[in-house]
């Protein structure tokens, strides 16, 4: 269910990139893999990071659906819900804190990449 949240930012970045750079690299003898690795991938890096953050955030909000659909697979949000239901509050608080810190780190990393790209 989160696939479109990853694809849309990447498509937006791909549509705004200049295809002439890739064509010039191929004309100069670069293979398709080299063009992808050295030109396309760095140009869509911001879209990949933005999509990853959106998918991560969306997955945190889909705890109920994950429990119903996946059954035995235990993601961190499902684990937190299980700990709260079992009155294991210290473990739930610890896991929640780690998720919040990780999310904040991703946001700051995205901002740093965006500022670096604007320079």
Q: What is the pLDDT of residues 54-67, one digit of tens each?
A: 887 787 777 767 66
Please give the pLDDT value at position 111. 81
Average pLDDT over residues 47-74: 77
32 pLDDT band, cuts 50/70/90, is very high
Given a contact cutoff of 8 angstroms between Cβ atoms, the answer to whether 92 and 80 are in contact is: yes
Q: Rounded to two decimals, what is the model's pTM?
A: 0.57
Q: Name the more confident of 94 and 107.
A: 94
Given a contact cutoff of 8 angstroms between Cβ atoms, the answer to whether 30 and 38 are in contact is: yes
Distance between CA atoms of residues 18 and 21, nearest Å: 6
**39-67 burial by CB neighbour count: b if 16+ within 10 A, else e?**
bbeebbebbebbbebbbeeebeebbeebb
18: left (phi over 0), alpha (psi -120 to 50) or beta: beta
pLDDT of 2 over the 90 cut = no
């Amino acid at each position: 269910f989160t696939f479109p949240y990853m694809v849309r930012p990447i498509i937006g970045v791909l549509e705004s990139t200049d295809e002439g750079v890739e064509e010039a690299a191929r004309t100069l003898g670069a293979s398709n893999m080299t063009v992808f690795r050295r030109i396309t991938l760095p140009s869509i890096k911001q879209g990949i990071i933005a999509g990853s953050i959106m998918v991560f955030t969306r997955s945190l909000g889909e705890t109920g659906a994950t429990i119903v659909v996946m059954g035995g697979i235990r993601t961190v949000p499902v684990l937190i819900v299980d700990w709260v239901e079992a009155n294991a509050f210290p473990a739930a608080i610890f896991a929640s804190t780690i998720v919040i810190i990780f999310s904040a780190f991703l946001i700051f990393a995205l901002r740093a990449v965006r500022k670096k790209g604007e320079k």
